[in-house]
Structure formats: C-alpha cells, structure tokens
Amino acid sequence: MPVWIALFAVTASTLQIESAVRSGCDPSETTIATLPANTPVEVRSALSGGSGTCYKIVATHNGREIAGYVPAKALASTDSFDQARREARSFGATTAAVNEQAKSIVRQATAKSGREHPAAKAWALVEANQPAEALRLLENDLLRYPVDPYLHAVAGIAYYRMDNLDRAILHWKESIAIEANPSIEAMLKRAQREKTADKGSERMVGNRVVLRYERSTLSEPFAQAMLQVLDEEYTRVSYQLGCRASEKVTAVATSRQSYFAATQAAEWSGGLYDGRIHVPVAESRQVSADTRRTFAHELVHACLHELGQWPSWLHEGLAQKFSGESMSSAHRAAVDELRKQKALPKLSQLGQNWSRLSSRHAEVAYTLALYGAEKLIELKASTGLGNVLRNPAAFPAIEAELDRALAQ
C-alpha cells in the first residue's frame, strides 16, 4: 500500500501571476478580488467558454476566503485537478450503479417466475444500447402481462435511456404500485430529480447522436457546433473500436447548475455516461478542446456498451486513451516501481463497480486502466483492437495475457 500512495495527488495549485478572481469566466464579469502571484489555491471545477477554459478556485487572502474564477494561464498547474476530475467519474450516476439495479430486477424476475423472464431479453437489448428495440418487445409482453412489475421496470429503463423521462417515471410508478421494490424506487427518485433540475427541451438530430440542450444556456448555432463535434468524435471512436451504432446515442448539454442538480456528480466532474451522455457547458462560439475530450471519453463508454459487457478497467482505460489522455511521467514511474517489486495489481482484480472505491484506490484504478489499455493496443497492433472487441466471451483470456505482460 505505501507504494500506491505515490500515485495520489490533491487538487491544490498556486497562482503563477497576479490574477483577478472574477464571478465568471468572461473578462467582463465582476472582479471579486485580485490575488498576488504564488497565492496557494484549491481548484474546485473547470468551465469551458468563449474565453477558453477557466477554473473555479478558493483561496484565503488577508484573512478572507475568496471564491471565484481565474483563467487557466493564471495557475501554475492543474494536473492534480485534472486527475481528480478523472477519478470523480466513478462516483456519479454512472452505468455501474444503474446496471446493478437493473440486473437485480431481472434476477428477481427470473427467481420469481422460475424461468428466464421476458424482461431479461429486453434488458439485454437495453444494455447493448438498443432501447427502442427493447420497447418493441416490451409492448407485446405488456399486452399479455399488464400487471407484471418487472416488465414495467425494464420499460422504464428503456425510456430513460431514450431520454423520455415522463414515460420512464410513468412505468416505474406503475411497477411500484404493483409491487414495492427499492431498486425501482431509487431509479424513480433519480429520474424525478433530473426532471426537476434539467430544463433542456430543445433537440437536434445528427448522424450518430441526438443532442438535447437548454435554449437558455446554449444558442442554436453553438448547439449545432456541439452536435457536429459529437458526430465527428463518434465516427472516430466507432472506426477505432468497431461500434455498430444501431440506435443513436443521446447527449444532454445543460448549464453547470442543472448538470450538478440533475446528476449529483462531484463539483469537478466534466461529464458522465449513464446510458446517455451528460455534459455541463457554457455558451461559446466554438467547442473547446476540453469539451471535445469529454465527448470522446463518454462516447467510448457508449460504444463499448453497444459491443458487449466489459470490465470497468477496459471502459475507463480506453475512454482515457481515446480522449487524448496520457500517463504522467510520475504515474508511469510509480507503476514501473510496482512492477519491479512484483506488487502491481492484476487488471482482473480491479473490480466492476468503481463507485465503491475510495478516492485513493480510484486513482490507482484509473492509472492502471490507462496503462492496461495502452498495453492492450500495443499487443494487438497486428490484429487490431476492433477484432478483440468483437468477441467479449474471449476477453478473459486476453485479460490474463495482459496481466502476464504487465507483470514482466
């Protein structure tokens, strides 16, 4: 364990120049205070807008706490914040928690009926990012079994994935009215919270992605630019990984206030995927590099869900890799030291639900995930990553091969 600690960072930095702390990112925003160079600050969140990326910071100056925004160039380093933001993805409303609840429902249905329940086949389609196809099955099943709580539960999940919160809530309420279930109640509360917080009602349909956004937050031209980037990134990711894209992916772009209220993500979270892509944004003339990377990261999750069931380390490792992230020299040196000491954890030991990891173990998991993804791409360079992802059933053997290669 002591060697692992070398990987950890905190979200602290210093100002490298005298900086005005403003109430927002734009230079026209109100100046709250001016802090001298070398002032220690705590980095809380990032925001991409027309003036580039800026960071929300908190500092103490002349005995007073100052909270506001400074441009990226004002900070000596944002490395620890960027790492913390990556690990925060495991603590939001992610597919791990949603899938765990859904699988629990399907297991209950099967146990109660004594055979494979019709909800199981529909859920398999939802898992593969085919909620519309799942609903076609469920409509027939519900005509035959209108008071089956499990069919209503999975129908709610399918509608939720299709970004139809009203229909999802309706089916989950119906399911609970037939039979109380804590997992369904948890999903219902999540959807109701999101419906209250999320004010986005405008939609645009692209080649690969459907974008829903808040008109009060984004102009139509900027939303069109975002949709174009989403389509471009999905095309790139799809080409590399071999996604089938039988149904369009939904992306939800809202203000930061709506994003955090709806998802309850950590303050520094830059985006998450729960069957839909959620991103906090601010108005701009063009999509920032940070927002493009966030789109790429979450689109990798969507793509892998289309292709089958994969371990969390592969999801997070490839998401980091294809969004342009790379291991720092310090992290690579720490992993090399673990390998020399024969103390490198196996990828197969990293677990499936990272929402239960402590922040320290989460950073280890994300670092090793990227390390494993890089090694996988290297080992399979001749046959291609897409060929590996066409056969989920064969992946455990490849994972074991990777563990042996990483240990050398």
122: Cα separation from own chain's centroid? 24
Over residues 347-367, mean pLDDT: 70
Q: Give Cα separations from 191 to 187, 196, 246, 250, 366 (angstroms).
A: 6, 9, 25, 16, 28
Q: For each of the domains in the chain, give its residue range(s) and CATH number, in order of start.
A: 17-75 (2.30.30.40), 95-197 (1.25.40.10), 200-307 (3.30.2010), 326-407 (no CATH)
pLDDT for res 282: 77
**Strands (DSSP E) found in 12-63:** 12-14, 19-22, 31-35, 40-49, 52-61
Over residues 379-403, mean pLDDT: 91
Structure tokens at 119: 């909800």
Using CA of residue 14, residue 16, residue 18, residue 19, what is the dihedral sign?
Answer: negative
| Torsion-angle region of 100 (φ positive above 0: left; ψ -120 to 50: alpha; else: beta) | alpha
In sequence order, which ranges of 198-288 are alpha helices (DSSP H)? Answer: 220-241, 256-263
**What's the pLDDT tens digit per position in 176-210?**
999 999 889 988 998 999 898 887 789 999 999 99
CA angle, residues 204, 205, 209, in degrees to nearest 5? 110
Of 64-68, 119-123, 263-267, 381-385, the least confident: 263-267
23: Cα separation from own chain's centroid? 28
What percent of the chain stands above pLDDT 70? 86
**What's the pLDDT tens digit per position in 11-32?**
678 898 999 998 877 788 889 9
Name the strands in the sheet holding 31-35, side by side, starting at the edge strand that comes first in the sequence.
12-14, 40-49, 52-61, 64-71, 19-22, 31-35
Which residues are CB-contacts of 89 (< 8 A; sequence separation ≥ 6)?
269, 271, 272, 297, 316
**What's the pLDDT tens digit per position in 225-239?**
999 999 999 999 999
Structure tokens at 332: 């690579």
The answer, yes or no, to whether residue 1 has pLDDT greater than 90, is no
User: Sorting pLDDT into bands at 50, 70 and 90, what band is 317?
Assistant: very high
* Bridge partners (DSSP) listed for residue 68: 57
Q: What does pLDDT average to over the chain?
A: 83
